[in-house]
């Protein structure tokens, strides 16, 4: 990127437009049946300070609340137990989950079962048990979670493999436009790829932002997709990439050199 006088970050309106573009693209490509939920917005409770609070008088004895009993898996699990998939002890990474979403962990394989917890979009080191089940329209993996066992949709876990620094002279009118432009070079039409913004974090330098995109579904049995990390910088001439890193997302596991098996 050529050196120019710096300018302020793109306006929030431009940033929101970029986010909407990525969200729509991901929705169009991902299809139904995924097990990703959007976190509920935070509720802020305010106190009315115009009057003094009145003391509360207890009219009944206080009740004791016992700890909730963890949900119990059904005696018979749905789907078929299969031999392929993550092996016992494999360390998995969450992939393809948007920065403002979470990946559900359920008590049994399938979206009809209770959620026992969630994993962040950039969670790593999720331990597989080696138990995998195939349902009619999805593939589920049992994992260790908070000292218990749970199930996640295999579409949203993988193995982060080898990475490499790339050079690019691409520029765009805004950081999200640049991210979409670089991610689009990895997209395939058959099968259709999904592009998900996993992280957007401002650096200490107010003119730089780190964007992480997951491109999932490229028609390769061993490669699930790619994780792209872009450090974008804005100046008077536009937005360019200070650094651009490509990391392979593997489907079946990693060789000792971190390449897909």
Side-chain half-sphere of 224: how many Cα atoms within 13 Å?
Answer: 25
Residues 148, 168: one domain? no
CATH of the domain at 115: 2.30.30.40
What is the pLDDT of the chain when averaged over all its residues? Answer: 78
Q: Domain range spanning residue 229?
A: 13-30+160-250
Residues 135, 172: one domain? no
Residues 92, 151: one domain? yes
Q: Which pLDDT value is given to residue 33?
A: 36
CATH of the domain at 181: 3.10.450
At residue 72, does pLDDT exceed 50? yes
Report yes or no on 50 lying in a domain. no
Identify the domain boundary among 157, 175, 195.
Answer: 157
How sure is the predictor about 27, in pLDDT bands with cuts at 50, 70 and 90? very low
Per-residue model confidence as pLDDT tens digits over 126-174: 999 999 999 999 999 999 988 899 999 999 999 999 999 999 999 999 9
Identify the domain boundary among 107, 133, 157.
Answer: 157
Measured torsion, CA atoms of residues 239, 243, 244, 246, in degrees rounded to the nearest 10: -160
Residues 200, 145: one domain? no
Domain count, the chain: 2
The strand pair at 139-145 and 148-153 is best described as antiparallel
Q: Which pLDDT value is given to residue 234?
A: 87
At residue 45, does pLDDT exceed 70? no
- 92: which residues sit within 8 A by CB, 6+ positions away? 86, 124, 125, 126, 127, 128, 141, 143, 157, 158, 159
Residues 140, 192: one domain? no
| Model pTM score | 0.73
Cα separation, 252 vs 223, in Å, equals: 8
Report yes or no on 232 lying in a domain. yes
Q: Which pLDDT value is given to residue 74?
A: 73
Q: Which pLDDT value is given to residue 39?
A: 39
């Amino acid at each position: 990127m050529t050196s120019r006088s710096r300018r302020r970050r793109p306006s929030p309106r431009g940033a929101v437009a970029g986010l909407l573009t990525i969200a729509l693209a991901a929705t169009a490509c991902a299809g139904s049946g995924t097990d990703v939920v959007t976190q509920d917005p935070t509720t802020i409770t305010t106190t009315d300070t115009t009057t003094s609070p009145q003391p509360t008088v207890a009219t009944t004895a206080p009740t004791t609340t016992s700890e909730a009993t963890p949900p119990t898996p059904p005696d018979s699990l749905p789907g078929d137990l299969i031999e392929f998939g993550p092996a016992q002890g494999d360390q998995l990474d969450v992939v393809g989950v948007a920065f403002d979403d979470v990946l559900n962990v359920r008590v049994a394989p399938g979206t009809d079962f209770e959620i026992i917890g969630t994993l962040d979009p950039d969670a790593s080191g999720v331990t597989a048990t080696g138990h995998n089940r195939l349902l009619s329209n999805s593939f589920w993996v049992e994992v260790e979670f908070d000292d218990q066992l749970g199930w996640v949709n295999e579409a949203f876990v993988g193995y982060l493999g080898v990475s490499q620094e790339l050079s690019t002279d691409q520029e765009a009118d805004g950081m999200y436009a640049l991210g979409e432009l670089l991610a689009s070079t990895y997209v395939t039409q058959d099968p259709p790829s999904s592009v998900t913004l996993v992280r957007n974090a401002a650096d200490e330098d107010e003119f730089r932002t780190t964007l992480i995109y997951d491109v999932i579904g490229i028609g390769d049995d061993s490669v699930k997709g790619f994780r792209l990390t872009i450090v974008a910088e804005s100046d008077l001439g536009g937005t360019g990439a200070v650094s651009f890193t490509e990391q392979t997302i593997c489907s079946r596991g990693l060789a000792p050199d971190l390449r897909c098996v």
